[in-house]
Chain A
Amino acid sequence: MISFEPTEEQQMIRETVAAFARDELRPAARAVDEGGAIPDGVIASASQLGLVRAWLPEEYGGDGSARSALTGAMIAEELAWGDLALAAHLTAPRLLAFPIAEQGTAAQRQRYLKRFAGASFAAGSSALIEPRYDFDLQSIATIARREGDGWILEGEKCFVPLAGESEAILVYARPGEGEGVAGFIVPRETSGLEISEAEKNMGLKGLKTYELKLAGCRVGDDALLGGEAGINFGRIVSQMRVAAVAMTAGLARAAFEYARDYAKERRAFGAPIATRQAIAFMLAEMAIEVDAMRLLAWEAAWHLDRGEDAVIESYLAKHYASAAALKVADNAVQVLGGHGYIREHPVEMWLRNARGLAAMEGLAII
């Protein structure tokens, strides 16, 4: 029967991650956005939390927790409430580890998962987006050609998080015209793989992203994720979309709360601006949108946890959250007025970051 009550365990995880977001991510966010390095302490604390390790099987050194998209959505929201760029950075290794853990062959799991179960942060990534104005997931143009006992990859990718420091990157490509999408685990040093300088983006500056050029990039047969059986790409996409929705909900909640608190402090015409309907109604609408985004993320996650691919649910949720997050972040800037435009306050950063996750696919996975 319908229930909106998280389990006690989920509630505990939520509180733990929320405390980390509040104590570590939020204080570091602005400096990182201005080009500073991510403090070692933040990375270390994140490793303590086990944002990747917790869900990896015990035989590879993980904690063996059952992966739950619902729990994942709650974690993603809390992390992104702290800072979206740092949240995406800290969870980027999942982009490689989780699809391997769920859909990889035994040999692939054996080879790649252990590094993500260690005490220190190990970068990982996947390459999904391609640098075309008309890119979408139904038009992936990177091609994998069979050659001998391996594959030759040809194509271009962009917005690949942490590509410069990942030991391997999961590249999504088509093994032939008209074929479904397959995943190829490409070690960073593979010849024919060229990684650009870090991209310069409008926001999400704490998340280093790169372009990849794949020209005659040769990988072995064992690089094909899931082996000959292939992968359920739809499910991976849904996991990515639910992550994005939950994260945008977290960002939107941060923006809403900041604007709400500001509006209660800031006085105009002799009273706090929050006592004026023009401002109060904006805040009310923001609160409603934040909850709607969260519930859509939860519902899609719930379908995933039932073993469904949740393709439509996660797409609808992403569609909704992309617009809603921008609206909420924009409203937050508006509530602060001129002050919202100044980089002393975080709301302008959240507006830039919201655009990033709204525009992009594949920057996070649950």
Chain B
Amino acid sequence: MIDFEFEPKLIERLKLYHTVAEQMMRPISREYDEREHEKPWQFFETMWTAAGTAAEFQPGGRSKKDGTGGGASTRNLYTIATTEELTWGDAGLFLSLPNAGLGGAAIAAAGTPEQKQRFLGPFRGGKPKWGAMAITEPGCGSDSAAITTSAVRDGDQWVINGTKIFCTAGQMAAEKSEGFIVVWATLDKSAGRAGIKSFVVPHGTPGMTVARVENKLGIRASDTAMIVFDNCRVPLDHLLGSPEVSRERGFKDVMATFDATRPIVAAMAIGVGRAALDCVRDFLNQQKVAVRYGAGLHRLTAAERDFIEMEVQLKAARLLTWRAAWMLDAGRQNSLEASMAKAKAGLAVTQITQKAVELMGPLGYSRRMLLEKWMRDAKINDIFEGTQQINLLIVARRILGYSSRELN
């Protein structure tokens, strides 16, 4: 039965998350935007400890029981709902939270139960840890099938060579905690996408080096790393899924990760968009301007029209995102819907935050307010986990029934 209400347990949890966002993230939001590459360790410690007691406190991370992130049929909805709440607080801090992150999502999507236990189990306690995923290379981004990082078998080990860039939380995962990097590499370049597999490389593995940390437009609290693999060796059972190079299965294991992560990125966009919308609404209220819902378009001021447009675009994006996550929870193939949500939310929120800055005039541009930061933060959501265009391409292939060879 169609329903648009979260269950009471989640509603309660969201209140808690909102408090965290408002009282712990917002106050340090500006500081860690300006002090790029520095980390709010105290905030991390608090969140890590809280996560240890409060079940699904880590978006995209572990679930209550075994840290494998599997199980509950509402897990993805919980994740996107809490993601929206925390990114309303601060998207950069959200991305920098200690958890298994996208690397964890990759293990959850492609790993065996034993691998999930082995790699994600340590995230249940001890010191704060990070997981990260390394896909993009200097020579390929959207065309992830073209990666050149290689994995060659040598006895009971894989030897990985190559350079990865734009790895979110890469430094935290590889150097600053007992975390791991999930790296995409090819077993056989001639096999194309079928040869691509993902490998778990634990922190401190010899041959893995963080070569640099990027300076960015936004989400500055989160580190984006270049990682070099130079004869980096991992045991055979660090390959996620099957080592078989199969044309049928091929890329699917690794791509399955995106079905879960794209709705999360869409939810991140929505959280930032909601922050901007709330800010503008509060300001209008202070000015005693009430948005006249129901009035004819000709009667509305330009600001009211803009606000209404922003509000409903955000809502449309949210509904598409909920649907994508709900399908995943229901065990349905959701690649189409995940890309729809991501494409919609990424663009809508990029526009919403830009419009919010515009509506607030000189105040919006000033760093006295957080609006200009949110505009910078929002933009990443239309880029990572598949750009706007890549997601449109995926939607197009699905609705047209075309393969990647037929439509590229």
Contact = CB atoms under 8 A, between A and B. Distances in A.
B402 A275 contact: yes
B327 to A, nearest CB: 8
Contacts of A315: 293-294
27 contacts: A1-B5, A1-B10, A1-B77, A2-B322, A4-B2, A4-B322, A134-B299, A136-B295, A260-B399, A260-B400, A277-B393, A280-B397, A281-B389, A283-B399, A284-B396, A288-B343, A292-B344, A296-B316, A298-B2, A299-B4, A303-B4, A312-B294, A316-B312, A317-B312, A319-B309, A319-B312, A320-B313
Interface of B: 1-7, 10, 74, 77, 292-296, 298-299, 308-309, 311-313, 315-317, 319-320, 322-323, 326-327, 330, 337, 340, 343-344, 389, 392-393, 395-397, 399-400, 402, 406-407
Nearest to B394: A284
B326 A3 contact: yes
A274 interface: yes
A43 interface: no
Contact of A2 (B4, B311, B337, B392): B4
Contacts of A288: 320, 340, 343-344, 395
> Chain B at the A interface: mostly helix, strand, loop or mixed?
helix
A287 B343 CA distance: 12
A212 to B, nearest CB: 20
Interface string A282-309: 0111011001100110110011000000
Q: Top 10 A-B pairs ranked by shortest CB distance?
A: A136-B296, A280-B396, A295-B319, A284-B395, A292-B316, A284-B396, A316-B312, A1-B7, A284-B392, A320-B312
Given A274-B407, A288-B395, A291-B320, 15 more contacts: A4-B322, A4-B327, A133-B298, A136-B296, A137-B294, A237-B294, A274-B402, A280-B397, A287-B395, A288-B320, A288-B340, A291-B323, A292-B317, A299-B319, A311-B293
B4 A280 contact: no
Given A283-B399, A284-B343, A285-B392, A4 B323 contact: yes
A133 B323 CA distance: 39
Nearest to B406: A275
Interface in A298-350: 298-299, 302-303, 311-312, 315-317, 319-320
Interface string A248-276: 00000000000010011000000000110
Contacts of A302: 2-4
Contact of B400 (A2, A70, A280, A317): A280
Contacts of B1: 3, 5-7
B344 to A, nearest CB: 5
Contacts of A311: 293-294
Nearest to B80: A2
A292 B327 CA distance: 16
B74 A1 contact: yes
Contact of A284 (B2, B5, B10, B399): B399
Contact of A296 (B298, B319, B406): B319
Contact of A70 (B2, B323, B326, B327): B2
Interface string A1-27: 111111100100000000000000000
A87 to B, nearest CB: 22
A70 B4 CA distance: 12
A287 B340 contact: yes
A281 B312 contact: no
B326 A2 contact: yes
